Amino acid sequence: MIKYPKKPEYGEKLNLMFDDELHTMTLSEDGSYTAYSKEYNEHYHSTKDGALHESLVKHVIPAFKIMQKKDEINILDICYGLGFNTLATLYYAKKNNITSKINIYSPELDSTLVKSLKNFTYPNEFEEFREIILGLSENGIYNENSWHVEIFLGDAREYIKRFPDGMFDIVYQDAFSPSTNPILWTQEYFSDIQKRMKRDGVVTTYSTALATRLALHENGFNIYINSGKDFRDATIASLSELDAFGRGVDMKHKIACNPDAKPLRD
Protein backbone atom coordinates (compact mmCIF):
# COMPACT_ATOMS: atom_id res chain seq x y z
CA MET A 1 0.00 0.00 0.00
CA ILE A 2 1.25 3.49 -0.86
CA LYS A 3 2.11 5.43 2.29
CA TYR A 4 1.56 9.17 2.33
CA PRO A 5 4.28 10.96 4.33
CA LYS A 6 3.57 13.83 6.68
CA LYS A 7 2.90 16.83 4.47
CA PRO A 8 6.05 18.98 4.11
CA GLU A 9 6.06 22.68 3.19
CA TYR A 10 5.18 23.50 -0.43
CA GLY A 11 8.24 23.49 -2.65
CA GLU A 12 10.28 21.49 -0.17
CA LYS A 13 12.51 19.15 -2.12
CA LEU A 14 12.73 15.53 -1.09
CA ASN A 15 15.15 12.99 -2.43
CA LEU A 16 12.86 10.04 -1.92
CA MET A 17 11.63 7.16 -3.98
CA PHE A 18 13.74 7.33 -7.13
CA ASP A 19 16.14 4.58 -8.09
CA ASP A 20 18.62 7.05 -9.55
CA GLU A 21 20.40 10.29 -8.75
CA LEU A 22 18.79 12.17 -11.62
CA HIS A 23 15.46 13.00 -9.97
CA THR A 24 14.25 14.75 -6.86
CA MET A 25 10.69 15.15 -5.66
CA THR A 26 8.99 18.52 -5.30
CA LEU A 27 5.67 19.28 -3.70
CA SER A 28 3.63 21.43 -6.08
CA GLU A 29 1.05 24.10 -5.25
CA ASP A 30 -2.00 21.82 -5.36
CA GLY A 31 -0.43 19.49 -2.77
CA SER A 32 0.58 16.79 -5.28
CA TYR A 33 4.20 15.77 -5.77
CA THR A 34 6.00 16.18 -9.04
CA ALA A 35 9.66 15.53 -9.86
CA TYR A 36 12.62 17.59 -10.96
CA SER A 37 14.94 16.20 -13.63
CA LYS A 38 18.60 17.06 -13.19
CA GLU A 39 19.21 15.72 -16.69
CA TYR A 40 16.74 18.13 -18.37
CA ASN A 41 16.99 20.78 -15.65
CA GLU A 42 13.21 21.02 -15.57
CA HIS A 43 10.23 19.97 -13.47
CA TYR A 44 7.83 17.35 -14.80
CA HIS A 45 4.90 19.69 -14.17
CA SER A 46 4.30 23.34 -13.45
CA THR A 47 4.90 23.57 -9.71
CA LYS A 48 2.68 26.68 -9.68
CA ASP A 49 -0.32 25.11 -11.45
CA GLY A 50 0.17 21.86 -9.50
CA ALA A 51 0.92 18.44 -10.96
CA LEU A 52 -2.54 16.87 -10.70
CA HIS A 53 -4.36 20.13 -11.40
CA GLU A 54 -2.25 20.79 -14.51
CA SER A 55 -2.86 17.31 -15.82
CA LEU A 56 -6.61 17.65 -15.38
CA VAL A 57 -7.18 21.21 -16.59
CA LYS A 58 -4.61 21.37 -19.41
CA HIS A 59 -5.06 17.86 -20.78
CA VAL A 60 -7.80 15.53 -19.56
CA ILE A 61 -10.80 17.83 -19.03
CA PRO A 62 -10.47 19.83 -22.28
CA ALA A 63 -9.84 16.66 -24.29
CA PHE A 64 -12.87 14.85 -22.89
CA LYS A 65 -15.01 17.96 -23.35
CA ILE A 66 -15.29 17.06 -27.03
CA MET A 67 -15.29 13.25 -26.86
CA GLN A 68 -19.03 12.83 -27.44
CA LYS A 69 -20.12 9.39 -26.36
CA LYS A 70 -17.52 7.50 -28.40
CA ASP A 71 -17.48 3.71 -28.00
CA GLU A 72 -13.71 3.72 -27.98
CA ILE A 73 -11.17 6.48 -27.29
CA ASN A 74 -7.53 6.07 -28.34
CA ILE A 75 -5.06 8.27 -26.51
CA LEU A 76 -1.38 8.94 -27.21
CA ASP A 77 0.27 10.20 -24.01
CA ILE A 78 3.54 11.98 -24.92
CA CYS A 79 5.43 11.09 -22.71
CA TYR A 80 4.64 8.86 -19.71
CA GLY A 81 7.03 10.54 -17.22
CA LEU A 82 5.38 10.10 -13.81
CA GLY A 83 2.19 8.92 -15.50
CA PHE A 84 -0.05 11.76 -14.32
CA ASN A 85 -1.89 12.24 -17.60
CA THR A 86 -2.64 8.53 -17.92
CA LEU A 87 -3.73 8.16 -14.30
CA ALA A 88 -5.72 11.42 -14.34
CA THR A 89 -7.55 10.07 -17.41
CA LEU A 90 -8.58 6.93 -15.52
CA TYR A 91 -9.54 9.06 -12.50
CA TYR A 92 -11.66 11.36 -14.69
CA ALA A 93 -13.27 8.46 -16.56
CA LYS A 94 -14.24 6.72 -13.33
CA LYS A 95 -15.51 9.88 -11.65
CA ASN A 96 -17.64 10.81 -14.67
CA ASN A 97 -18.91 7.28 -15.39
CA ILE A 98 -17.40 7.29 -18.87
CA THR A 99 -18.26 3.95 -20.41
CA SER A 100 -16.15 4.24 -23.58
CA LYS A 101 -13.32 1.76 -23.96
CA ILE A 102 -10.17 3.78 -23.28
CA ASN A 103 -6.84 2.75 -24.80
CA ILE A 104 -3.76 4.72 -23.74
CA TYR A 105 -0.41 4.36 -25.49
CA SER A 106 2.52 6.13 -23.90
CA PRO A 107 6.21 6.18 -24.85
CA GLU A 108 8.92 6.85 -22.28
CA LEU A 109 12.69 6.80 -22.77
CA ASP A 110 13.57 6.49 -19.10
CA SER A 111 13.04 2.87 -18.01
CA THR A 112 14.66 3.46 -14.59
CA LEU A 113 12.09 6.16 -13.88
CA VAL A 114 9.17 3.90 -14.84
CA LYS A 115 10.50 1.10 -12.59
CA SER A 116 10.70 3.48 -9.61
CA LEU A 117 7.12 4.75 -9.99
CA LYS A 118 5.72 1.92 -7.88
CA ASN A 119 7.22 3.85 -4.94
CA PHE A 120 6.14 7.33 -6.04
CA THR A 121 3.94 9.33 -3.70
CA TYR A 122 0.91 9.97 -5.89
CA PRO A 123 -2.02 12.16 -4.82
CA ASN A 124 -4.87 10.53 -2.87
CA GLU A 125 -7.02 10.74 -6.01
CA PHE A 126 -4.88 7.94 -7.50
CA GLU A 127 -5.02 5.73 -4.43
CA GLU A 128 -7.67 3.49 -6.03
CA PHE A 129 -5.28 2.79 -8.93
CA ARG A 130 -2.54 1.25 -6.77
CA GLU A 131 -2.67 -2.07 -8.61
CA ILE A 132 -2.61 -0.36 -11.99
CA ILE A 133 0.37 1.81 -10.93
CA LEU A 134 2.21 -1.29 -9.76
CA GLY A 135 1.42 -3.23 -12.94
CA LEU A 136 2.50 -0.36 -15.18
CA SER A 137 5.69 0.23 -13.24
CA GLU A 138 6.69 -3.45 -13.27
CA ASN A 139 5.31 -4.72 -16.58
CA GLY A 140 4.50 -1.59 -18.61
CA ILE A 141 0.98 -2.82 -19.30
CA TYR A 142 -2.50 -2.82 -17.78
CA ASN A 143 -5.43 -4.49 -19.45
CA GLU A 144 -9.01 -5.11 -18.40
CA ASN A 145 -12.43 -4.73 -20.02
CA SER A 146 -12.73 -0.98 -20.32
CA TRP A 147 -9.14 0.23 -19.94
CA HIS A 148 -6.01 -0.73 -21.81
CA VAL A 149 -2.74 1.08 -20.99
CA GLU A 150 0.67 0.34 -22.41
CA ILE A 151 4.00 2.05 -21.86
CA PHE A 152 6.59 1.76 -24.61
CA LEU A 153 10.13 2.03 -23.28
CA GLY A 154 11.87 3.84 -26.10
CA ASP A 155 11.86 6.84 -28.40
CA ALA A 156 8.50 8.54 -28.96
CA ARG A 157 9.43 9.52 -32.53
CA GLU A 158 9.90 5.86 -33.49
CA TYR A 159 6.88 4.68 -31.51
CA ILE A 160 4.44 7.05 -33.25
CA LYS A 161 5.33 5.56 -36.64
CA ARG A 162 3.97 2.15 -35.57
CA PHE A 163 0.37 3.39 -35.52
CA PRO A 164 -2.00 3.47 -38.49
CA ASP A 165 -3.32 6.72 -39.97
CA GLY A 166 -6.33 8.21 -38.21
CA MET A 167 -5.80 6.23 -35.00
CA PHE A 168 -5.91 8.80 -32.20
CA ASP A 169 -8.77 10.74 -30.64
CA ILE A 170 -6.53 12.48 -28.13
CA VAL A 171 -2.82 13.35 -27.98
CA TYR A 172 -1.50 14.70 -24.70
CA GLN A 173 1.54 16.67 -25.88
CA ASP A 174 3.42 16.90 -22.57
CA ALA A 175 7.12 16.54 -23.38
CA PHE A 176 9.75 18.66 -21.66
CA SER A 177 9.74 22.20 -23.02
CA PRO A 178 10.56 22.99 -26.67
CA SER A 179 13.87 24.59 -25.67
CA THR A 180 14.86 21.56 -23.56
CA ASN A 181 13.58 18.73 -25.76
CA PRO A 182 13.06 20.27 -29.24
CA ILE A 183 12.86 16.94 -31.10
CA LEU A 184 9.34 16.41 -29.73
CA TRP A 185 8.07 19.82 -30.94
CA THR A 186 9.19 20.14 -34.56
CA GLN A 187 7.11 20.63 -37.68
CA GLU A 188 8.13 17.11 -38.80
CA TYR A 189 7.17 15.61 -35.45
CA PHE A 190 3.70 17.17 -35.62
CA SER A 191 3.41 15.92 -39.21
CA ASP A 192 3.81 12.36 -37.88
CA ILE A 193 1.22 13.12 -35.20
CA GLN A 194 -1.17 14.73 -37.69
CA LYS A 195 -1.26 11.63 -39.90
CA ARG A 196 -2.30 9.49 -36.95
CA MET A 197 -5.02 11.83 -35.66
CA LYS A 198 -8.73 11.44 -36.30
CA ARG A 199 -10.30 14.47 -38.00
CA ASP A 200 -12.26 15.21 -34.83
CA GLY A 201 -9.31 14.39 -32.57
CA VAL A 202 -7.62 16.85 -30.26
CA VAL A 203 -4.05 17.68 -29.20
CA THR A 204 -3.65 19.22 -25.75
CA THR A 205 -0.48 20.98 -24.65
CA TYR A 206 0.75 23.39 -22.00
CA SER A 207 2.94 25.14 -24.60
CA THR A 208 1.67 28.48 -25.86
CA ALA A 209 4.85 29.24 -27.81
CA LEU A 210 4.25 30.68 -31.26
CA ALA A 211 6.78 28.19 -32.68
CA THR A 212 4.66 25.29 -31.32
CA ARG A 213 1.46 26.77 -32.70
CA LEU A 214 3.15 27.36 -36.07
CA ALA A 215 4.33 23.75 -36.22
CA LEU A 216 0.74 22.63 -35.59
CA HIS A 217 -0.78 25.22 -37.96
CA GLU A 218 1.55 24.22 -40.81
CA ASN A 219 0.21 20.67 -40.43
CA GLY A 220 -3.39 21.82 -40.84
CA PHE A 221 -4.39 22.09 -37.17
CA ASN A 222 -6.77 24.79 -35.94
CA ILE A 223 -5.40 26.40 -32.80
CA TYR A 224 -7.43 27.26 -29.69
CA ILE A 225 -6.59 28.79 -26.33
CA ASN A 226 -7.41 26.74 -23.24
CA SER A 227 -7.77 29.28 -20.47
CA GLY A 228 -9.13 29.27 -16.94
CA LYS A 229 -8.97 31.35 -13.78
CA ASP A 230 -6.75 28.96 -11.87
CA PHE A 231 -4.11 27.97 -14.42
CA ARG A 232 -1.90 29.58 -17.02
CA ASP A 233 -3.13 29.51 -20.62
CA ALA A 234 -2.53 26.37 -22.63
CA THR A 235 -3.17 25.25 -26.22
CA ILE A 236 -5.71 22.95 -27.88
CA ALA A 237 -5.34 21.91 -31.53
CA SER A 238 -7.62 19.97 -33.85
CA LEU A 239 -7.95 19.24 -37.56
CA SER A 240 -11.65 20.12 -37.17
CA GLU A 241 -13.21 23.35 -35.98
CA LEU A 242 -14.04 23.11 -32.29
CA ASP A 243 -16.99 25.23 -31.18
CA ALA A 244 -16.29 24.36 -27.55
CA PHE A 245 -13.13 26.48 -27.49
CA GLY A 246 -14.33 29.76 -28.99
CA ARG A 247 -13.13 31.43 -32.17
CA GLY A 248 -9.60 30.09 -32.10
CA VAL A 249 -6.27 31.81 -32.67
CA ASP A 250 -6.05 33.81 -35.89
CA MET A 251 -2.80 32.29 -37.12
CA LYS A 252 -2.71 34.38 -40.33
CA HIS A 253 -2.74 37.50 -38.17
CA LYS A 254 -0.06 36.06 -35.82
CA ILE A 255 2.17 35.27 -38.80
CA ALA A 256 1.64 38.76 -40.28
CA CYS A 257 2.62 40.33 -36.92
CA ASN A 258 5.64 38.01 -36.48
CA PRO A 259 7.02 37.49 -40.01
CA ASP A 260 10.30 36.04 -38.72
CA ALA A 261 8.67 33.44 -36.46
CA LYS A 262 9.37 29.86 -37.51
CA PRO A 263 8.41 26.43 -36.21
CA LEU A 264 11.19 24.21 -34.91
CA ARG A 265 12.52 21.80 -37.55
CA ASP A 266 14.23 18.40 -37.30
Ligand X SMILES: C[S@@+](CC[C@H](N)C(=O)[O-])C[C@H]1O[C@@H](n2cnc3c(N)ncnc32)[C@H](O)[C@@H]1O
Q: What is the largest CA-CA distance in the chain?
A: 56
| Residue 151 parent element (H or E) | strand 147-153
Q: How far is the CB of 227 from ligand X (least distance, A)?
A: 21
Q: Is 118 exposed, middle or buried (0-12, 13-18, 19+ CB in 10 A)?
A: middle
Collapsing DSSP to helix, strand or coil, 205 comes out as strand
**Member of 66, 82, 102, 170 binding ligand X (CB under 6 A):** 82
Q: Which stretch binds ligand X (CB under 6 A): 23-31, 64-72, 94-102, 107-115?
A: 107-115
Q: Which stretch binds ligand X (CB under 6 A): 11-19, 119-127, 171-179, 241-249?
A: 171-179
- The reply on whether position 57 binds ligand X by CB under 6 A is no
- The reply on whether position 55 binds ligand X by CB under 6 A is yes
State the binding string over 3-42 for ligand X (x if CB under 6 A, else -): ----------------------------------------
Q: Which of residues 117-156 bind ligand X (CB under 6 A)?
A: 155-156
DSSP H stretches of helix in the chain? 51-54, 61-65, 84-95, 111-116, 130-139, 156-160, 187-195, 210-217, 251-257
State the binding string over 201-240 for ligand X (x if CB under 6 A, else -): ----------------------------------------
Collapsing DSSP to helix, strand or coil, 65 comes out as helix
Collapsing DSSP to helix, strand or coil, 177 comes out as coil
Q: How many other C-beta atoms lie within 10 A of the C-beta of residue 86?
A: 29
Gap between the Cα atoms of 266 and 263, Å rounded: 10
Terminal-to-terminal C-alpha distance of the chain: 44
**Member of 98, 170, 175, 236 binding ligand X (CB under 6 A):** 175
Q: How far is the CB of 259 from ligand X (least distance, A)?
A: 31
State the binding string over 84-103 for ligand X (x if CB under 6 A, else -): xx------------------
Chain residues that interact with ligand X, rule: CB under 6 A: 44, 55, 79, 81-85, 107-110, 113, 155-157, 174-176, 181, 184
